[in-house]
Each structure stands twice: as structure tokens, then as C-alpha cells.
Amino acid sequence: MQILKHLRRKKGIRQKDLAIEIGVSLRTIQLYEKKGANIPIKNLNKIAAYFETTVGELYLQEINEEREPYLKKEVFTHKGTVIRHLPNGKVLVSAHLVLLANQNAFLEKFREDAVVSEFIRIEFLLDFAKESHYMAFEISGNAMDDGTSNAIPGGALVLCRRVMENELKASPQKFLDTAFMVVTKDRILCKWITDFSEETQALLCHNLNPSPEFKDFEMRLSEVLGLFQVVRKQF
């Protein structure tokens, strides 16, 4: 990302100092400053925060620096979600982040069907995003940590798309064997959904961690206030 070099030089910051701030090696910063660099969204968020801008603005400045045509596409907004289509074909999703410290406030707002406008926002870069309601959550505990590529350990941040009850009932197979944030009246759980029973109207919730204390259980849809399918995670 060549704009990174421009911003760094404008502020008189050495590559070594920026590397320390972001928590990466000097070599990594040198790679990030090249055109077309693939920068993980976690570090993009850190870089944007350091230069007091957003990930979206970084990409738009990159396009302007290269003097490439920028065709402005319609921005989708819904319940605090903002989705922007970038010129490079990527999609930038900006959503409110529910940290562990403000889960109770989120649950209260969610029960009232209110937008959590006072929560901080976080941006994720995706190849594709449905126009829908997205939220990001901080993960608690290690019930979903099995050490595999599917693992979602405690402290991770996940971007999720809300799946409405009618979507699930219409095509349950589309949503099985994936991770969800399950919002109930008094808690938020991260679980792997392995089955949906039409007869009992219940979800089978699985913990990836094989330790004996993490047991599978059923949860009836009547207990669920909201289902959010995990579409991206960062550590």
C-alpha cells in the first residue's frame, strides 16, 4: 500500500518506529508499503488508527495517489452497518463492536431493537458481503478453541452477519457446520451449529474445544433473540 509510505514520510516517521507501533517486523512494514500489498485487516485497523483515519479512507487515498479512476458505488447502510464497494473489487464492512465490557448494554439495546450507535466501530475487508445487518463481537473463553483453523479463541474479534429466523427455517442446511454468535435474553454465546430440528425448533450447539467441561446442548429458537453467523475473524 503505497499511501502508507506517503503518510509515514509526511509525519516524519521511520519504518522501524511504525513497525514497533503496529507490532510487526521492519521487513513486514517494508512489504506493506509496496503496491498491492496484502495487509491483514487486524493490522490495517492498527495502521488506520495510528494515522487517525479509517481503513476505507486508506484505500481511497491509495486510489487517488495512483490516479486510477474511482467509480463511486452506492453505500449500503442498515442498523449501523455500512458497506462500501472499493475500486479494487473488495468490500469494506464497518460495524459496531460489542466488547466484553459492554455486552450487557448491547443486550439491553438489542431487546429494545435499538441501534447501538454509541459503541465503537471496526472495519473488516471482505471479498464479498451480502447487504445485511452486521455486528462484531469480542470472544470470551476458550470453548471454541480446538487449535485448528476453525478455532475462535478468547480475545478474538469476529465479524458476523445476522441471520433471520425465516432464513434459517427456509434453508437450514446453508447454515450448519459454521460458527454463530447466539444472542439470548441475558448472554451472548459463540457456538458451532451442527443441526437444526424442525420438529423441536431447536439448534444443536457444539463447542470445538474437546475438553470434557464443554458439552454440546440444544437451544430452542424461542430462547434466541438473534443469530449472527461468523464471516471473518481476527486475533
CA torsion, ordered 11, 84, 232, 97, to nearest 10 deg:
70
Percentage of the chain beyond pLDDT 90 is: 63
Residue 179 backbone phi and psi in degrees, to 5: -90, 140
| pLDDT score for 113 | 87
Q: Where in the chain is the domain with CATH 1.10.260.40?
A: 2-65
| pLDDT score for 71 | 45
Q: What is the Cα–Cα distance from 152 to 235, expressed in whole angstroms?
A: 9
Task: Give the model confidence (pLDDT) of 199-230 as tens digits.
Answer: 999 999 999 999 999 999 999 999 999 999 99
Q: Where in the chain is the domain with CATH 2.10.109.10?
A: 76-234
Average pLDDT over the chain, rounded to whole? 89
CATH class of the domain at 76-234: mainly beta
Q: How far out from the chain centre does Cα 203 lie?
A: 23
| Number of Cβ atoms within 10 Å of the Cβ of 40 | 13
| pLDDT score for 69 | 45
Task: Give the model confidence (pLDDT) of 114-125 as tens digits.
Answer: 888 889 888 888
pLDDT band at residue 88, thresholds of 50, 70 and 90? Answer: confident
Cell numbers for 5: 509510505
The rounded radius of gyration (Å) of the Cα atoms in the chain is: 20
Q: What is the DSSP letter of 235?
A: -
Neighbouring C-alpha atoms within 13 Å toward the C-beta of 61: 15
Q: Which residues, in sequence order, are CB contacts of 217 under 8 Å at separation 6+?
A: 204, 205
Three-state DSSP class for 51? coil
Cell numbers for 194: 451442527
Q: How buried is 205 (Cβ within 10 angstroms: 0-12 exposed, 13-18 middle, 19+ buried)?
A: buried
Task: Give the model confidence (pLDDT) of 34-52 as tens digits.
Answer: 877 778 878 888 888 888 8
| pLDDT score for 215 | 93
More confident residue, 158 or 11: 158
210 neighbors 132 (Cβ within 8 angstroms): no
Yes or no: is domain 2-65 CATH 1.10.10.10?
no
Q: What is the DSSP letter of 21?
A: H
| pLDDT score for 64 | 60
pLDDT band at residue 74, thresholds of 50, 70 and 90? Answer: low
Three-state DSSP class for 162? strand
